[in-house]
A = this chain, B = another copy of it.
Amino acid sequence: MSERLPVAVDAMGGDNAPTVIVAGAKLAVEKFGVGVVLVGDPDRLGETGSLPVLPASEVVEMGAEPASSVRRLKDSSIVRAAEAVRDGAASSLLSAGNTGAAMAASLLRMGRIKGVARPAIAVPFPVPGSTPTTVLDCGANADCQPEWLVQFAVLGSVYARERFGLAEPRVGILTIGEEAGKGNALVRTACELLENGDWVDRCGARYLGNVEGRDLMIGTADVVVTDGFTGNVVLKSLEGGFAVFERTVREALTSTPAVAATADVVEPVLDPVFETFDPALTGAAMLLGTRGVALISHGSSSPMAIAHAISTADQLVDIGIVERLRQSMTPSS
């Protein structure tokens, strides 16, 4: 068992909460030896075994308006989880619930790292056979200032280095052409700022310039910065596209008796491919820029995906990710 504080797990958040979340928390303890505290309504959690429970009587539902819900539902599981991190009762939090609420609760209860204009959601996009590409912002800030994209580049580089062990993360900006000067007004200004090398020194990154949508899953860059509107639309488009692709492939593979008969041989090699692209398995998103680790898992996560995310939260605490991010925001003397 880890010596560290437990991970506060929002037991009420997720498409199949609390059942799947509680099961995932148990797995995290058993398989990875990570300490966990469940946050939720004790009367609704079912059998929690030996796991400690931090009581919270309210729930921010999946479709609820985030900011007002977090302000109103002061005894909700996500708010109590964020407070546990703030108060030193937990090392970090994990939620598979309402993403906006997890973001708002973390921001309001933990506060921002000094110098961070706006925290951003960093999502690892799968690159088959290689390190994921960290894309941010994937939805925290629909409208961005160009300066924020430079901060995202710094925060994302620190994150990619610490989480994925990259010595010199390669950073690109998402746009619609290869040549300099291509893009919308935001990107053109952000490009000018990114090309001035000061931020690169602060986080040990290398700036690649423009990347396009087709670069996101082939490892062209380790970190890709974009505004939260574009990032979220791309994330959802790819998740939706892969779901359609997987369903269509699976249907084709049962479409005739002859091909259905190959299932025993074909499925064992295809299932891992589908898992590679499953957003519930590719790794939790992290809100970068708050004074505490806040991880956000896909609403449809399985118990094993939740367990992995809890373990990731614990590892990020272990490597001192918040302190590393904080250092990158302090201008070197």
Q: Are B269 and A241 in contact (CB under 8 A)?
A: no
Q: Is the CB–CB distance between B239 and A214 below 8 Å?
A: yes
Query: Across the interface, which residues of B come within 8 angstroms of A238, CB to CB?
Result: 213, 237-238, 241
- Complex Cα spacing A65 to B179, Å: 9
In the complex, A252→B267 CA distance in Å? 10
Contact partner, A178, options B63, B255, B269, Cβ 8 Å: B63
Does A266 interact with chain B (Cβ within 8 Å)? yes
Asked whether A176 lies within 8 Å of B212 as measured between CB atoms, the reply is no
Q: Does A217 contact B (CB under 8 A)?
A: yes
User: A248 near B: Cβ within 8 Å?
Assistant: yes
Instruction: Pick from B174, B218, B229, B269: contact of A176, CB below 8 A.
Output: B229
In the complex formed, the residue of B with least CB distance to A236 is B213
A236 pairs with B212, CB closer than 8 A? yes
The verdict on A235 contacting B252 (CB below 8 Å), with A143-B184, A242-B241 known, is no
Q: Which chain A residues numbered 91 to 140 have a C-beta less than 8 Å away from chain B? A: 128, 139
Closest residue of B by beta carbon distance from A183: B142
The residues of B that contact A232 with a CB separation of less than 8 Å are 176, 213
Q: A139–B176 contact, CB under 8 A?
A: yes
Which of B139, B236, B256 makes the CB contact (< 8 A) with A214? Answer: B236
Q: How far is the CB of A142 from chain B (nearest CB, A)?
A: 4
Identify the closest chain B residue to A215 (Cβ): B240
Stretch from A3-11, A35-43, A149-157, A257-265 contacting the other chain? A257-265
Cβ of A327 under 8 Å from chain B? no
CB-contact partner of A216 in B212, B241, B272, B276, under 8 A: B241
Among A229, A242, A276, residue most surrounded by chain B Cβ atoms (within 10 Å): A229
A244 touches B269 (CB 8 A): no
Q: Binding site of A, secondary structure by majority: helix, strand, loop or mixed?
A: helix
Query: Are B240 and A216 neighbours in the complex by a CB distance under 8 Å?
Result: yes
Query: What distance in Å separates the Cβ of A292 from its nearest Cβ neighbour in chain B?
Result: 25
Is A270 on the interface with B (CB-CB < 8 A)? yes
Residues B273 and A244 in contact, CB atoms below 8 Å apart: no
Expressed in whole angstroms, the minimum distance between the Cβ of A228 and any Cβ of chain B is: 8
A277 interface residue (CB < 8 Å to B): yes
Contact: A269 with B252, CB < 8 Å? yes
Do A217 and B244 form a contact, CB below 8 Å, given A237-B237, A259-B265, A262-B265? Answer: yes
User: How many angstroms from the CA of A139 to the CA of B177 in the assembled complex?
Assistant: 10
Is A227 engaged at the interface, CB distance under 8 Å to the other chain?
yes
B-side contacts of A256, CB under 8 Å: 269
User: Is the CB of A53 closer than 8 A to any CB of chain B?
Assistant: no
5 A–B contacts, CB within 8 A, in A order: A176-B236, A212-B236, A215-B240, A234-B234, A241-B241
> Chain A interface (Cβ within 8 Å of chain B)?
63, 65, 128, 139, 142-143, 174-176, 178-179, 182-185, 187, 212-218, 226-230, 232-245, 247-249, 252-253, 255-256, 258-259, 261-262, 265-266, 269-270, 272-273, 276-277
Q: Which 5 A-B pairs have the closest CB atoms?
A: A214-B240, A213-B236, A213-B237, A142-B184, A184-B229
